[in-house]
Amino acid sequence: LVLKVRIDPRDACMGDDICVNLCPAVFIRDQDGKASIAPQYRVRGDISQGEVPDDLRSCVESAAQSCPVGIIIVE
């Protein structure tokens, strides 16, 4: 099973690293100071879209619930 994750709209990211700290397997701090999907999980190289193994669901969901601007979307 694969989990679809988006950082959308990524421009709204505050760069507070909350998702990076809660779920470092999936979210990284990128060069512009905002969060991106870790390279190995990106969809067609898109830094804001990922397909993640289902065993990372709980960490992705905790990041989504903790994002202060609510831009981490899990499907």
Residues that bind ligand SF4 (CB under 6 A): 7, 13-19, 34-35, 67-69, 71-72
Rounded Cα distance, 5 and 74, in Å: 5
Least Cβ distance, residue 73 to ligand SF4 (angstroms): 10
Rounded Cα distance, 69 and 51, in Å: 21
Q: Which is nearer to ligand SF4, 2 or 69 (CB)?
A: 69
Least Cβ distance, residue 44 to ligand SF4 (angstroms): 20
> Count of alpha carbons within 13 Å of 1, Cβ hemisphere only?
6
Q: Which is nearer to ligand SF4, 1 or 32 (CB)?
A: 32
Instruction: Give Cα 71 distance to the centre of its chain.
Output: 9
